[in-house]
Amino acid sequence: MAMKPRHRKLALIVLVVATLGVAVALVLNAFNSNLVFFFSPTQVANGEAPTSRAFRIGGLVEEGSIRREADGLTTRFAVTDTAKTMPVIYTGILPDLFKEGKGVVAEGRLGADGLFAATQVLAKHDENYMPPEAASAIEQAQKAQQTVAE
């Protein structure tokens, strides 16, 4: 018993709508809980960053700020956008291109003490490449400073 074209079209529409419905539900659900927002050290200092969920910060690793703890795996450093600086702690092996004075992006949570506990420090593939988030954080901080000076 072959379907009539009209029925077939109806069945097709039902199938497509059902699948799209499931897809949209999954996407909305996942978007809510898995989007990671980015904040610059200045924004964090102004209290714009959430304390309840993970986010990303970016900027330069401040010169002379890298301290390694005795276990050899825990590292403390500071991320700056040239206006504000924030302390970060990370346990694990850092990427090859993590250096003082170079751009960095870290993902993690902000503690009540203002210390950013990073779960991930992002590696990029090129020596001269600046992570775009870090670059924009510095750019914005410098713009803000200029406005203040004027």
Partner 1 sequence: MIPELGHFALIVALLLALIQAILPLYGAQRGNLTLMAVARPAAQGQLLFALIAFICLAWSFLANDFSVLNVARNSFSQLPELYRFTATWGSHEGSLLMWVLILAFWSAAVSVFSRHLPEDMAARVLGVMGLISVGFLAFLLTTSNPFERLLPAAMDGNDLNPLLQDWGMIIHPPMLYMGYVGFAVAFAFAIAALLSGKMDVAWARWSRPWTTVAWAFLTLGIVLGSWWAYRELGWGGWWFWDPTENASFMPWIAGTALMHSLAVTEKRGAFKAWTVLLALVAFSLSLLGTFLVRSGVLSSVHAFATDPARGAFILGFLAVVIGGSLVLYAWRAPKMVTGSGFTWFSRESLLLANNVILIAALGSVLLGTLYPLFMDAMGLGKISVGPPYFNAVFVPLMAPALFLMGVGPLARWKEASLPDMVTRLKWALVVALATGLLLPLTQDGFNAWASLGFFLAAWITLAVAAAFIDRLKHGQGGLLQKLAALPRGFWGMQLAHFGMAVGIAGIAVVANYSSERDVRMEVGSYAELAGYTFTFRGTTMYEGPNYRAARGTVEVSRNGKAVATLHPEKRTYNAAGMGMTEASVHPNFFRDIYVAMGELLDDQGDTWTVRLFYKPFINWLWLGTLFMVVGGFMAAFDKRYRIALRRSEVPKNLAAQGA
Residues that bind partner 1 (CB under 8 A): 1-5, 8, 11-12, 15-16, 19-20, 22-23, 26-27, 29-31, 33-38, 56, 68, 71-73, 91-94, 96-97, 123, 125-127, 129, 132-133, 135-136
Output the CA angle 48-92-52, nearest 5 degrees.
Answer: 25
Rounded to whole angstroms, the Cα distance separating 115 from 41 reads 12
Q: What is the nearest approach in angstroms of partner 1 to the Cβ of residue 2?
A: 4
Q: What is the nearest approach in angstroms of partner 1 to the Cβ of residue 47?
A: 16
For residue 4, is it left (φ>0), alpha (ψ between -120 and 50) or beta? beta
Rounded to whole angstroms, the Cα distance separating 73 from 85 reads 23
Nearer to partner 1, 104 or 113 (CB): 104
Q: What is the nearest approach in angstroms of partner 1 to the Cβ of residue 1?
A: 7
